[in-house]
Amino acid sequence: MILGDSISAAYGMSLEQGWVTLLERRLAEDGIEATVVNASISGETSGGGLRRLPQLLNEYTPTLVVVELGGNDGLRGFPLATLRRTLSAIVSQAQASGAQVLLLPMEIPPNYGQRYTRGFRQTFEQVAKETGCTLGPFILESFATDAGMKQPDGIHPTAAAQPLMLDSVYPSIVALLEDQ
C-alpha cells in the first residue's frame, strides 16, 4: 500500500501514468505477486495520512506500507517535531499491524532556510532510526533540479518523470517484498 500525497497520486495526469501504477505493472512483469493499493491523496499531510491509516490498514491488511508523506507539511512550514511525531505514529501503527514500512524521504526548497531545510531532511532519518523502518531513497533525486521533468508549477513531476521515480524506489520495494 502506498500512503502518499500528490507525488504518488499522479497529480496532473491520469493515474495510469503515475509511478504507482507503473510499479504494479513492473512487479507483474517480474513475476512478483503483489496487489498494489494506491491510498495517496493530493495535498495530503502526514496528519491526514495518520487519520486515514487505521481504516486503510483494516480494509487492506497490507504486508508493506510505503510512506511518501511530509512534503506538504514542509511546504506549510509545520513544526519539525510535529512531523517527526506524526511520521513515527504512522510507521508504528503500520508495523503494529504486521506490515513492513518503507519511508520515502522528501526534500523541500532551500528558501525555507538552511536550518529548517536541514532539519526537515534529518526528520526522515530520525524516524527511520527510532522505528527501525527502512529509509528509502529520495524519490525525486534523479531529476529534482531538472525543470523539464516538472509540470508548469515547478513542483509536480511530469509523466516522463514517473518511470524515473519508479526506478529509484523499485529496488527497495522488491527487497522488502522478497523479505516477507
User: In which element (H, E) is residue 88 found?
Assistant: helix 80-96
List of residues 6+ apart from 80 with CB closer than 8 A:
116, 119, 120, 123
> Is 5 one of the catalytic residues?
no
Q: Which of 6, 40, 88, 168 is catalytic?
A: 6
Q: Which of 46, 73, 156, 168 is catalytic?
A: 156
Please give the Cα distance from 104 to 14 (Å, whole number).
22
Please give the Cα distance from 112 to 175 (Å, whole number).
34
Please give the Cα distance from 103 to 139 (Å, whole number).
11
Please give the Cα distance from 94 to 71 (Å, whole number).
20
Angle among Cα 106, 112, 113 to the nearest 5 degrees reads: 110
Q: How far is CA 136 from CA 3, 16, 103, in A?
A: 14, 23, 6
> Is 156 one of the catalytic residues?
yes
* Residue positions annotated with a catalytic role: 6, 153, 156
